[in-house]
Amino acid sequence: MNLAPIVRKEFRQISRDRRALGILVFLPGLLLVLVGYALNFDVKNLSVAVVDEDRSPESRHFVQSLTGSEYLVHKWSLDDRSGIDRLLEEGEAQVALVIPRGFAHAMIEGKSIQVQVIVDGANANTAAIAAGYVALGIQDYSSRVLAQWLERHGAHILVPIDIRPRLLFNPELKTAKYLVPGLFGLILMLSTVISTSLSVVREKELGTMEQLKTSPLKAYEIIIGKAVPYLGIALLAATLILVLGWLMFDVSVRGSLLVLYVAIFIFLLAGLGQGLVISSVAKNQQIAFFISVFSSLLPAFLLSGFVFPLSSMPMILQVIANILPTKYFLVIVRAVILKGVGIGPVWDQFLALSLFSAFAIGLSSIRLHRELSS
């Protein structure tokens, strides 16, 4: 095989286009910093506005124990409900709590009482979490009051269920730990699908493909020669993310590096195949760029489980996600990095990923072979 010359030519061409090189090398770092430092779903320090209509030691104790955490902070005390409107509208408070008159009486006499909780629902995600915190806090407080009350009245009944929550894999629940491995899909798609398709189409546009065809190189040598440099850059980018993720965000690989790199390699093949198929369809770079972004970058961002949970999407989008390779790849990457599992629990994901790769590479070889030998 006579690959060296074309690989060398391709590398020289890549290094000549400074901006493209900058994007391939600089972007993974930029994205990693953004994703690692800036992106966070944690909901903490929610400002609470309290309307205490009871003004009793009991109601004050209730408010204190509810807001004494890093999640809910008692920031405003209002005299009546009319002030809630403005605080929520301007985003000064996210939660409002109204404690009705008769609260202390109910606690002492053993009665049921309702406490009103108002949540700013504009951001549904934050609101769901906030409402959850408040509801749990109230239930918890209520249980304690009930237990004390029972003790005082001499009833020997214990709280029926004691919950022991256990968090696996990411006990501090850091968003970065989940997103950093997810970045692999996005960045590798970028350096394979988009770069490969553009580089091949450029040769076609400039007419240099004809020159390559008339060279003594065989069709498969041209294809492999064009693919190898991007494979190298992508592997470099992947390693870069791995090292930076470990240094900056403490994301270490719990499972086997070998399994991880095998998965990366199979995924890269899928990307290369997809890029080559696009290059055989597209007539100019602009179209190649649009098709690439739509078929790789967008799904890698939206339909891979990178940020948005797939299980909440409509059926049709889940079906599309199941056809594309990124979803499987991310499950493997996260399982190996965060959960430390081997091939065993994710063999089916490996199978699906490999099937897509084989299909993409096969289709692209057939199409390009036809084109190059014509």
* Cβ proximity to other proteins, 17 vs 371, nearer residue: 17
Q: Does 307 bind other proteins (CB under 8 A)?
A: yes
Site for other proteins, residues 143 to 202, rule: CB under 8 A: 143, 145-146, 149-150, 155-171, 173-175, 177-178, 198
User: Which of 3, 25, 73, 106 is in the footprint of other proteins by CB under 8 A?
Assistant: 106
345 near other proteins, rule: CB under 8 A: yes
Beta bridge mates, 11:
none
**If binding is defined by CB under 8 A, does position 92 make contact with other proteins?**
no
Per CB under 8 A, which of residues 40..59 are in contact with other proteins? 40-45
Which strands, in side-by-side order, build the sheet including 95-99? 72-78, 46-52, 95-99
What string marks each residue from 243 to 282 as x (binds other proteins by CB under 8 A) or -?
----------------------------------------
CA gap 77, 230 in Å, rounded:
60
| Degrees, nearest 5: CA angle 57-59-60 | 65
Q: Nearest distance from residue 76's CB to other proteins, in Å? A: 16
For residue 333, give every residue at least 6 positions away whose Cβ sits within 8 Å of its Cβ, in sequence order, or none: 181, 182, 184, 185, 260, 263, 264
Q: Is 126 in the site for other proteins (CB under 8 A)?
A: yes
Size of the site for other proteins (CB under 8 A): 107
17-36 positions binding other proteins, by CB under 8 A:
19-20, 23, 27, 30-31, 34-35
The closest alpha carbon to 307, from 187, 180, 131, 193, belongs to 180
Distance CA 253, CA 357 (A): 24
Contact range with other proteins by CB under 8 A, out of 113-121, 221-229, 235-243, 269-277:
113-121
Radius of gyration of the CA atoms of the chain, in A: 29
Tell me the C-alpha distance between 233 and 216, whole Å. 27
Cβ closest to other proteins, residue 62 vs residue 184: 62
134 vs 200, which CB is nearer to other proteins?
134
Binding other proteins (rule: CB under 8 A), the pick from 122, 243, 258, 351 is 122
* Residue 224 sits in the site that holds other proteins (CB under 8 A): no
Q: 230 is written with which tokens? A: 């991007």
Ramachandran angles phi, psi of 107, nearest 5°: -65, -40
Q: Measured between alpha carbons, how far is 286 from 44 in angstroms, rounded to an integer? A: 44
Smaller CB separation from other proteins, 240 or 363 = 240
Query: What is the C-alpha separation between 129 and 71, in angstroms, rounded?
Result: 10
User: Using CB under 8 A, which of the segments 101-109, 226-234, 243-251, 353-361 binds other proteins?
Assistant: 101-109
- Which residue number, 140 or 250, has a Cβ lying nearer to other proteins? 140
Angle at 370 between CA 364 and CA 374, to 5 degrees: 150
